[in-house]
Amino acid sequence: MDETVVFPAQQSTAAGASVPAPSLAGLAFSKGHGTGNDFVLIADPGDAHEITPEQVAQLCDRHVGIGGDGLIRAVPSRFLPEGRDLLEQDPDAEWFMDYRNGDGSLSEMCGNGVRVFVHFLIAENLVDLGPGETLTIGTRGGVKKVVRTANGYAVDMGPWEFIFPKEATSKAMDALVSADGLEVARPGLSVSMGNPHTVVALAELKELAATQLFKAPVVDPKPAHGTNVEFVVPAEPLVEDGVGTITMRVHERGVGETQSCGTGACAAAVAIRHWAGATAPNDWHVNVPGGVVDVKFFPGAGGREHVELSGPAVIVATGTLS
């Protein structure tokens, strides 16, 4: 891909008039993905580019833009208020993953996007990271530590938590979820991975395939800031050689169905492990339409359990906006 036409967006002034948004002509971009979860990537080391929500949506449009589940701008943390806050916690978080959903809305973070973001930083010669080395980055979901592995990247996603802990511990569910293709509403369990998820277990793969995710499932009650929804089928047997296996599809806020969702894979493993009981393993394979990611639970700082997400990251194209 050498060049993509982007139609000019409009932005409103305080008086309500519309004026052209700053032009993105000549701006270099890359296209990358992690197990099919794809992103438009922009390097902005000088914080020189104001990209409006309308322009994000146009760039991510699969018909008139580049196409992607979201847009990631690589910008030094010092240029953003939330980035400066993170630098006070960890001065090593030099780079900030400024992530927006495909509709232009801000998102806390994206697990697949973190891997692609770090791969992009390396490809752009903005960082030097050898196998086994760790890079610290900032996201709206907090500081993340990323290790370069032989087959991709492993990300310490930080601690997980139930969004409605009382219901999760007493009833093992906190919501009813309806979706086209399912005859009745199903119980769901809501998990925060820095962003919100509601996980639904289904009995069979054919039921998973029949679930239609063209529009957002209805979650009642819905977490305060909306939620991503994962539909999951446990393998039979669930555990082999100490590793659990599940298959998942996901509807992401502001995007729709995606080929993969890293934080969603983590949330799905949290929920299935919770439902499976005390003997459930800490290592999981999560099959998604775009491939396989691995999820691992381990003790974190302060006694809280953390989740590690690992998988590949690929840059598939580069170009310049016209």
Tokens of 310: 């690992």
Strands 243-252 and 10-12: unpaired
Q: Write the CB contacts of 199 (distance below 8 Å, at least 6 apart in sequence).
A: 188, 189, 190, 191, 229, 230, 232, 267, 268, 270, 271, 272
d(CA 105, CA 39): 14
266 is catalytic: no
Burial letters 274-293, b for 16+ CB under 10 A, else e: bbeeeebbbbbbbbbebbeb
- Sequence-distant (≥ 6) Cβ neighbours of residue 17 within 8 angstroms: none
Determine which one of 71, 168, 229, 261 is catalytic.
Answer: 261
CB 238 within 8 A of CB 274: no
The first and second tokens of residue 162, run together, are 């139930």
Annotated catalytic residue within 6, 24, 42, 110: 110
Please check whether residue 32 is in contact with residue 120, taking contact to mean a CB–CB distance below 8 angstroms.
Answer: yes
Per the annotation, the verdict on 261 as an active-site residue is: yes
State whether residue 151 is helix, strand or coil. coil
Whether residue 72 contacts residue 41, with contact meaning beta carbons closer than 8 Å, is answered with: yes
Catalytic residues: 110, 261
